[in-house]
Amino acid sequence: PEDRGEEKIRAYLRELDLPWPSSTEATRPQLLDILVRASLQFGMPVVWAFYVGRHPSRPSENTIYMTLEPRCIEWIRDIEALLARGKADDYLRRCAEIVGGLGQSYSTMIRDVLDTHFDIADLVRAFWSDTAVPQFHNLNDPDLRRAVNGYLPDESQLWPADEIVNLQPELFARLNATLLSKEGLRKGFKVFLGAHIVWMLSPMLSRYLTSAMLADMGLGSSEENHRILKCIQALEAMTPMVKWQMNLGAQEDTTITWNIMRLILRSISAWARVYGEATENQVLGAMAGVVINAFNMTSTWDMIDKAFIYLPNKTDSSFFNAYRRAAEVTVAFFKQSLRQPEHSIYHVPGICMVRLYRLLVGRELILENYLTSSPLYKPWYPKSVPAAIAGTRLAEQIYEILWFTFYYNDRYQAAICNMALPASVHFRRAFKCGPQNRLFTNFTWPDFLASSTTTAAP
């Protein structure tokens, strides 16, 4: 990173129409436009992300997903570490001085940023979940529809009857009802976005800000590792398949993974058999298409090169310039022709970093390399050891897939009679499943009615 990086930080804030560190009034359409522009034009989402990804029930199409941007949780952790040491004000003032210059106190801005931070942190703790039930969110909201369409090409324009996928519906409902809709909170949210962007860019652009923040957190000795980690995360977001291919090259024996998977399937089959043969067959059917770590770890470097052929290969610029160019090219490639994409990639950069997307769209289980490699695993260990260490992680994800398969239809509506268990008289009586709700027939609870802004609700 550059020593201070103020010019590039200022330039990026201007491109998002953020006059930070100044505080200005904001409308709901303006805030939505900033969020969507960061995601669908620049490919660098902030706080609330809009991603392109494979449609969950129509795999030949792409769609738009919206969810909490993963780095927002990192922001919460960093700011609370600074607050615990009484350094949050100093950090935000330092960021403001880099962008806006010396000679001002910035006390009002700091108060607004921290007030909004507390609001967002409370909402995330209360309503964010990595296993939240998604919703198909229609675009009757004209502000949201105009914001999204403003950064989509003509052939991908969305109409009021169209839908996008909301991976965190409860959290978005609260964000929309408060920070996006209340006049007294919108101004603070806008200035918060500016501070968040400076924090997000500083590992790539400002050695000064990063060093000072880590020193304030008592982590000054880990400065170099922190910057390397942030740069690796940026690269993983652009080329997600590379990480898994490198892990595959580092893993000495892939049969460990398959042995673990066989043991898990045997255990789950035995568990399902207790509820009858029909239940066991449906469980095994749901598991038939499950893969581990991107195409069952069978991809090659040649396949990856072809998948990311759209990326620019110039290397004569700074890391940030190369990253930003790659992000813009990537989002431009994937948002073309949402309904008839010219590719079959479901590991779409950005959204594929969200575990729930890979579970529901790719039926992909994620097993980190360190769980099956030295020093945690040794080849002379009995099979029960890796099954306990890594198998627990895989089993948890399998049960999440089964939960969605059994209890929800393809629109993520609660459909309890999807499952094989309604064959049981006791089950039908307990859940009031009538004779018309036969095996594999969707039955949506009448209590779960769509709201005015969504066509499905958990």
Judge whether residue 213 has pLDDT over 80. Answer: yes
375 assigned to some structural domain? yes
Q: Of 128-137, 140-149, 305-314, which gets the smallest average pLDDT?
A: 305-314
Task: Examine the pLDDT at 432 and tell me if it is beyond 60.
Answer: no
Q: Is 69 in the same domain as 117?
A: yes
Domain boundary among 184, 208, 239: 239
Domain assignment present for residue 261? The answer is yes
Q: Are residues 316 and 213 in the same domain?
A: no
Picking from 208, 238, 211, 220, the residue whose alpha carbon sits closest to that of residue 319 is 238
- Which of 89-98, 133-142, 166-175, 403-412 is predicted with the least confidence, judged by mean pLDDT? 403-412
Asked whether the predicted pLDDT for residue 439 surpasses 60, the reply is no
User: Is residue 115 in a domain?
Assistant: yes
443 domain residue, yes or no: no
pLDDT tens-digit readout, 225-282: 888 888 888 888 888 888 777 777 666 677 788 888 888 888 899 988 888 888 888 8
The answer on 284 and 169 residing in a single domain is no
Of 133-142, 216-225, 333-342, 406-415, where does mean pLDDT reach its minimum? 406-415
- Contact in structure between 48 and 68 (CB atoms under 8 Å): yes
State the pLDDT confidence band at 416, using cuts at 50, 70 and 90. low
- What is the CB neighbour count within 10 angstroms for residue 43? 26
431 confidence band (pLDDT: 50, 70, 90): very low
Q: Is residue 339 part of a domain?
A: yes
pLDDT, the chain, mean: 84
Domain end position, chosen among 239, 272, 304? 239
pLDDT at position 52, please?
Answer: 95
Whether residue 213 sits in one domain with residue 132: yes
91 and 181 fall within a common domain: yes
Residue with the larger pLDDT of the pair 19 and 232: 19
Q: Grade residue 437 by pLDDT with cuts at 50, 70 and 90.
A: very low
Tokens of 293: 């770590």
Cα–Cα dist 327/200, whole Å: 15
Nearest to 333 by CA among 238, 197, 242, 200: 238
Q: Are residues 292 and 373 in the same domain?
A: yes
Buried b (16+ CB within 10 A) or exposed e, 305-316: eebbeebeeeee
Residue 427: pLDDT over 70:
no
Q: Are residues 191 and 299 in the same domain?
A: no
**Are 259 and 208 part of one and the same domain?**
no
Compute the distance between CA of residue 31 and CA of residue 305 in angstroms, rounded to an integer: 37
C-alpha radius of gyration, the chain, whole number = 24
pLDDT of residue 295: 79
pLDDT of residue 334: 92
Average the pLDDT over each of 32-41, 210-219, 449-458 and give the range with the smallest value: 449-458
The pLDDT-based confidence of 103 (bands split at 50, 70, 90) is confident
pLDDT at 430 over 60: no
Question: What pLDDT was estimated at residue 376?
Answer: 73
Tell me the average pLDDT across 399-407: 87
Q: What is the 3-state secondary structure (H, E, C) of the chain?
A: CCCCCHHHHHHHHHHCCCCCCCCCCCCHHHHHHHHHHHHHCCCCCCCEEEEEEECCCCCCCEEEEEEECCHHHHHHHHHHHHHHCCCHHHHHHHHHHHHHCCCCCCHHHHHHHHHHHHHHHHHHHHHCCCCCCCEEEECCCHHHHHHHHCCCCHHHCCCCCCEEEECCHHHHHHHHHCCCCCHHHHHHHHHHHHHHHHHHHHHHHCHHHHHHHHHHCCCHHHHHHHHHHHHHHHHHHHCHHHHHHHHHHHCCCCHHHHHHHHHHHHHHHHHHHCCCHHHHHHHHHHHCCCEECCHHHCCCHHHHHHHCCCCCCCCCCCHHHHHHHHHHHHHHHHCCCCCCCCCCCCCCCCHHHCHHHHHHHHCEECCCHHHHCCCCCCCCCCCHHHHHHCHHHHHHHHHHHHHHHHHECCCCCECHHHCCHHHCHHHHHHHCCCCCCCCCCCCCCCCCCCCCCECCCC
Q: How large is the average pLDDT for residues 100-117?
A: 92
Residue 420 has pLDDT above 70, yes or no: no
Same domain, 227 and 150: yes
Residues 288 and 169 in one domain: no
Asked if residue 439 is part of any domain, the answer here is no
Q: Which of 30, 29, 70, 22 is nearest to 47 (CA)?
A: 70
Angle between helices 6-15 and 88-100 (to 10 degrees): 80
Q: Percent of the chain having pLDDT more than 70?
A: 88
What CATH number corresponds to the domain at position 17? 1.10.1380.10
Q: Out of 144-158, 210-224, 303-317, 387-401, pick the least confident.
A: 303-317
Q: What is the pLDDT of residue 235?
A: 82
Residue 444 lies in a domain: no
pLDDT at 436: 43
pLDDT at 385: 79
Q: How many domains does the chain have?
A: 2
- Residues 341-369, buried b or exposed e (16+ Cβ, 10 A)? beeebbbbbbbbbbbbbbbbbbbbbebeb
pLDDT recorded at residue 176: 96
- According to DSSP, the β-strands at 364-365 and 291-292 are parallel
* Residue 417 belongs to domain spanning: 252-431
What is residue 250's predicted lDDT score, i.e. its pLDDT? 66
- Angstrom distance (rounded) from CA 343 to CA 346: 9
Confidence of residue 347 (pLDDT cuts 50, 70, 90): confident
Whether the Cβ atoms of residue 391 and residue 319 lie closer than 8 Å to each other: no
Whether 440 is in a domain gets the answer no
User: Are 276 and 413 found together in one domain?
Assistant: yes
User: Is pLDDT at 434 greater than 50 in this prediction?
Assistant: no
Do residue 260 and residue 303 come from a single domain?
yes
| Weakest mean pLDDT among 88-102, 256-270, 418-432, 441-455 | 441-455
